[in-house]
Amino acid sequence: MRSWRHLLCVYPYRSELGRRNGFYPPLGLEIIAAALKPHFRAIDVIDLRRETGNAADFLRPDTDLVCFSVNWDREAGFLREQIRSVPPGILTVVGGRHATEDPEKWLSECPNVGIVVRGDGEETVGEIAEGRPLEGIAGISYRLEGRIVHNPVRQCAKVRGDLYPDKKLRRYKYTMDQSGLTGPQFDTVASSRGCPFNCAFCSFSRNPWGGKRAWSARSPESVVDEIETIDAGLVGFVDDNFTHDMDRVAAICDLIIARGIRKRFIANARLEVARRPDVLRKMERAGFSMLLLGIESAQDKTLRSMRKGFDTKRLREYFRVLRKSRMILFGYFIVGNIGESEKEMLQIAPFARRLGIDVIQLTVLRNERYSGVEDLVASNPGCHIAPDGLVYSDQCPPELLRNIRRRIHRRFYGLTQLLQLCGKAIRNRIVTPRVVSGIPGFVLGEAIAHWKQKRMRRKRRRLAEEAQAASPV
Ligand code: B12
Ligand code: SF4
């Protein structure tokens, strides 16, 4: 078997969502580094968001392999430049979700790339490092005698319990900085992958080729073992559906409590968690502070067409339980759902407030690969997909959607709502002292804006009444 010396793993982006200092660690790349660790004498994991230098600055005379994680369709020129900077004598492997979509592109645009790994990479890179002949490794695209060869697809394996990032390879602290000030340290854990549900628009639960990814999970022991290696006080689970097996969630909580781990956790949850108030209490005791809940719409017809598995009546029942929790309830809604009128979309704000949701996030319907949105649009005349993937209709063009979003936000985040949210954030200890000290000013600002709006409305009403009284008819 080949003896490998130095491995360089690179996250080749400078920014994330327009921010220079993204605070999400490059989890996929760190898992790849962990899978390759037994084969290498030395490993460097470099995140170019946290560096001013370039990938080539981290090459060593003994570098045998460079791995690039290409997950996003952003910064294309920079990405190419970084990948091409590795000299041809070193094996260069590119992997990640975006690379998976078009492996041919990376092999033809970057002549130094030896292999593109498609889909989950942990098993594949292990086989490459073991020196298996390339023609026998599923899920790779590579060069052979001047041609590009695409090996058969690798089926998604069950998530491995023994494989998670080795925090000793971390060179950076991922902090949620605000206005130039250092914020709390943040980290992520992938405790399960896939989802057994079939919501119509969702690509989360798809594998990289559009096939349904079966839900598979790590054992509670392995999840809590990983949590024990984490320095950060705030941990986000990136699972598609963390709460699919509530007994597993309960076991994770029991272990966190038994081992005396004191951290704050955030997780995606299906609304069915409400059926297990016993586990909800345990989650609170274990430090879960926020549940991210996909609600999507305030309209039964939309929930039905999305196959969400609940309607507004069921939602109200679930939230009777959920709103008793001290966890922050974060609800995702979609603005621009196919077939919804402006009036129906605007109902999101009062609906979410009545349910007892603390925070709403409004996203415009987006066409992701394999999400099925394309078919929905095709079967609805007057609906279109913009070049950036956002969906709009003739009745609701992008400008109106933006305007509706602003109006929903304004209606939802009233003064009482903001005060309630601040209270919960402080109780859950997920805001920094600086943010807490900024709250009075923020609340005061909101109160003044609220009061000004009220005064404007009153003035408009008075003027309208005066105009009516002055009218000759
Ligand atoms: C956390 C997260 C984020 C974080 C960023 C995380 C980060 N820095 O990596 C934030 C909140 C910033 C974010 C933002 C966005 N996100 Co996001 N996000 C996720 C989420 C929930 C988890 C990602 C994760 O860590 N997965 C677990 C790891 C283990 O998987 P992985 O990264 O895919 O890595 C594996 C393989 O890709 C491969 N691999 C990765 N790197 C490498 C490298 C090599 C060399 C090899 C061999 C293999 C390999 O092997 C890894 C292990 O199996 C996923 C959903 C999900 N559950 O995956 C969505 C997801 C990735 N996001 C998505 C989207 C659309 C976005 C946004 C574009 C949303 C928006 N409208 O703005 C933005 C873009 C941000 C940007 N950078 O430009 C989509 C991507 C769809 C697609 N086909 O590309 C996903 C899949 C959700 C979805 N279906 O809608 N996101
Ligand atoms: S929206 Fe959530 S519950 Fe539905 S299929 Fe996607 S990940 Fe699963």
pLDDT band at 440 (very low <50, low <70, confident <90, very high): low
Measured distance CA(185)–CA(204) in Å, rounded: 26
pLDDT at 25: 96
pLDDT at 197: 85
**Residue 359 CA to its chain's centroid (Å):** 16
Nearest one of 266, 191, 270 to 233, comparing CA atoms: 266
Mutate to test the pocket of ligand 1, among 86, 106, 120 (most ligand atoms within 8 A of CB): 120
pLDDT band at 203 (very low <50, low <70, confident <90, very high): low
Protein residue with its CA nearest to atom 81 in ligand 1: 368
Measured distance CA(25)–CA(23) in Å, rounded: 6
Which residue bears the tokens 């009075």?
Answer: 440
Instruction: Compute the average pLDDT of residues 53-72.
Output: 96
Helix (H) or strand (E) holding 98: helix 97-101
Measured distance CA(226)–CA(212) in Å, rounded: 27
Q: How many CB atoms lie within 10 A of CB 454?
A: 10
Instruction: Compute the average pLDDT of residues 154-177.
Output: 90
Distances (CA, A) of 430 to 186, 250, 256, 282: 11, 22, 18, 18
Ligand nearest to the CA of 294: 2
Nearest one of 94, 84, 161, 89 to 124, comparing CA atoms: 94
Angle between helical axes of 246-258 and 277-286 (0-180°, round to 10): 30
Ligand 2 centroid–CA 24 distance in Å is: 22
Q: State pLDDT tens for residues 216-271.
A: 999 999 999 999 999 999 999 999 999 999 999 999 999 999 999 999 999 999 99
**Residue 164 CA to its chain's centroid (Å):** 18
Q: Copy the structure tokens of residue 309.
A: 């598995």
The CATH number of 4-150, from 3.40.980.10, 3.40.50.280, 3.30.70.1520, 3.30.420.40, is 3.40.50.280
Report the share of the chain in percent with pLDDT over 90: 64
pLDDT at 177: 81
Ligand nearest to the CA of 368: 1
Query: Which atom of ligand 1 is closest in space to residue 203's alpha carbon?
Result: 89
Is the C-beta atom of 243 inside 6 A of ligand 2?
A: no
Mutate to test the pocket of ligand 2, among 205, 310, 334, 366 (most ligand atoms within 8 A of CB): 205
Is the C-beta atom of 241 inside 6 A of ligand 2?
A: yes
Q: Side chain identity at 164, as an amino acid letter?
A: Y
Ligand 2 centroid–CA 222 distance in Å is: 24
Query: Which atom of ligand 1 is closest in space to residue 97's alpha carbon?
Result: 37
| DSSP-derived secondary structure for 234-297 | EEEE--SSTTSSHHHHHHHHHHHHHTT---EEEEEE-GGGGG-HHHHHHHHHHTEEEEEEEEE-
**Contact (Cβ atoms closer than 8 angstroms) between residue 305 and residue 200:** yes
pLDDT band at 11 (very low <50, low <70, confident <90, very high): very high
Length of the chain: 473
pLDDT at 431: 65
Ligand 1 centroid–CA 26 distance in Å is: 9
Is the C-beta atom of 294 inside 6 A of ligand 2?
A: yes
Ligand nearest to the CA of 366: 1
Q: Copy the structure tokens of residue 190.
A: 């992938």
pLDDT at 438 over 70: no
Ligand 2 centroid–CA 17 distance in Å is: 23
Q: Which fold has domain 184-420?
A: TIM Barrel (3.20.20)
pLDDT band at 143 (very low <50, low <70, confident <90, very high): very high
User: Mean pLDDT of all residues in the chain?
Assistant: 89
Instruction: Compute the average pLDDT of residues 82-92.
Output: 96
Is the C-beta atom of 435 inside 6 A of ligand 2?
A: no
186 contacts: CB under 8 Å, gap ≥ 6 = 23, 24, 174, 175, 176, 232, 234, 235, 236
Q: State pLDDT tens for residues 288-303.
A: 999 999 999 999 999 9
pLDDT at 420 over 80: yes
Measured distance CA(255)–CA(249) in Å, rounded: 10
Measured distance CA(218)–CA(444) in Å, rounded: 46
pLDDT at 236: 96
Q: State pLDDT tens for residues 366-391.
A: 887 767 788 888 888 888 888 888 88
Instruction: Compute the average pLDDT of residues 58-71.
Output: 97
Q: State pLDDT tens for residues 104-123.
A: 999 999 999 999 999 999 99
